[in-house]
Amino acid sequence: MTVLTNALRELAGLFVDDGALALMIIAVVVLTGVVATLLPEVPLVAGGILLLGCLTALLSSVARANRR
Amino acid sequence: MTGSLALIWPVVTAAFLASLVEAVEALTIVLAVATVRGLRPAGLGAIAGLGALALIVVALGPLLDRVPLHLLQLVIGVLLLLFGMRWLRKAILRSAGVIPLHDEATAFAAETAELREQARRNEARLDWIGGVTTFKAVLLEGLEVVFIVIALGSGRGMLVPASVGAVAACLLVAAVGLIVHRPLARVPENTLKFAVGIMLSAFGVFWTGEGLGVDWPGADLAIVGFAAMFLAVSGAAVVLARHPKAEAVS
């Protein structure tokens, strides 16, 4: 059981290092999905939110790590 | 599904560079075990790791064709964002001197010290421990390579070019490792992670958007624009976060 837990933890570690960054990325993707559903005729609005949201999440994660 | 010509080189390059990083990390551990306990347990563990990896690919690979394309793009895109931005964040923090650079020579020394400590505690089981160590290293780093290949290749039918890039990197590292027989400490790991983090993040934005129905201007070429934006923002982040000590390490 411990081996399986460790393996799963290591597998999750491939994708999540800073939990706050991962949460921000997921939040940006969810927001993009909502906007893409509500405004299907202007998909670039959703695209812009996705791109700028990811860049903002990255900057804020670096800034947070820098303050620690 | 046929691959777009504009995407082939970015896919091959990203798969090659990312796999190079993973293969170098796996090689360091295999060499550490080989140094402490000899080639046999190190080699057997590595071969078993490769075998397990092959089984996983053979078992799960055909499932990819059954997943609807938009769902596949969305899932792969989100995983690429998580994976790529994690690498990019770490590379930015290392370039800025906020966290120390990864050093294969130090990793090698730490791994050999740990194995020697285990040897002191339990000599009889060391071959087994050494084999399990290389098995785990090859399997985990190999899983990262497989994920990168699937992530970069599956969205546009480019699994073959992505696999070619990854296999070439693994063979190159294995060949150099066999010749020099010591950790490849001179590989500029952080620069590679920086470049690959940018490429994976750009692919991640592209696939996630496609999965959510975004029709990107310029189609596949939009990835180049995304990469340029990630590069500009990451460069600015390094400058803003740079610590005085970073001048000495960069």
Do A36 and B237 lie within an 8 Å CB cutoff? no
Worst-scoring range by mean pLDDT, A48-52, B78-82, B101-105, B246-250? B246-250
Q: What's the rounded mean pLDDT across residues B1-13? A: 71
Question: Is residue B5 very low, low, confident or very high in pLDDT (cuts 50, 70, 90)?
Answer: low
**Side-chain half-sphere of A10: how many Cα atoms within 13 Å?**
14
Q: What's the rounded mean pLDDT across residues A47-65? A: 95
The answer to whether residue B169 scores a pLDDT higher than 70 is: yes
Q: What's residue B185's pLDDT?
A: 64
Name every residue whose Cβ is closer than 8 Å to that of residue A42 and which is 6 or more positions away in sequence: none
Provide the CA B101 distance to its chain's centre, in angstroms: 16
Q: CA–CA separation, B246 vs B18, rounded Å?
A: 24
Q: What's residue B2's pLDDT?
A: 45
State which residues form the domain around B148: 5-249
The answer to whether residue B18 scores a pLDDT higher than 70 is: yes
Q: What's residue A7's pLDDT?
A: 67
Q: Answer whether A24 touches B (CB < 8 Å).
A: no
Provide the CA B166 distance to its chain's centre, in angstroms: 9
Structure tokens at B89: 């964040």
3-state secondary structure of A40: coil
Residue A11 located in a structural domain: no
Residue A5 located in a structural domain: no
State which residues form the domain around A21: 17-67
The answer to whether residue B245 scores a pLDDT higher than 70 is: no
Q: What's the rounded mean pLDDT across residues A3-23? A: 77
The amino acid that residue B162 corresponds to is A
Residue A38 located in a structural domain: yes
Residue A23 located in a structural domain: yes
Q: Answer whether B241 touches A (CB < 8 Å).
A: yes
Question: Is residue A4 very low, low, confident or very high in pLDDT (cuts 50, 70, 90)?
Answer: low
Q: CA–CA separation, B177 vs B158, rounded Å?
A: 29
Residue A58 located in a structural domain: yes
Q: What's the rounded mean pLDDT across residues B65-81? A: 87
pTM tops 0.90, yes or no: no
Q: Which residues of B touch A50 (CB under 8 A)?
A: 205, 208-209, 212, 214
Question: Is residue A61 very low, low, confident or very high in pLDDT (cuts 50, 70, 90)?
Answer: very high
Tell me which of B179 and A60 has the higher pLDDT. A60
Our separate counts of H helices and E strands in chain B read: 9, 0
Residue A6 located in a structural domain: no
Q: List, as one string, the DSSP characters of B170-221.
A: HHHHHHHHHHH-S--TTS-HHHHHHHHHHHHHHHHHHHHHHHTT---TTGGG
Pick among B21, B29, B70, B89 to test the A interface (most A CBs inside 10 A): B89
| Per-residue model confidence as pLDDT tens digits over B103-156 | 777 777 777 777 777 766 666 566 777 788 889 889 888 988 888 888 888 777
Residue A39 located in a structural domain: yes
Residues of chain B above pLDDT 70, percent: 88
| Model ipTM value | 0.89
Identify whether the C-beta of residue B80 lies closer than 8 Å to the C-beta of residue B200: yes
**The total number of structural domains that make up chain A:** 1
**The total number of structural domains that make up chain B:** 1
Residue A29 located in a structural domain: yes
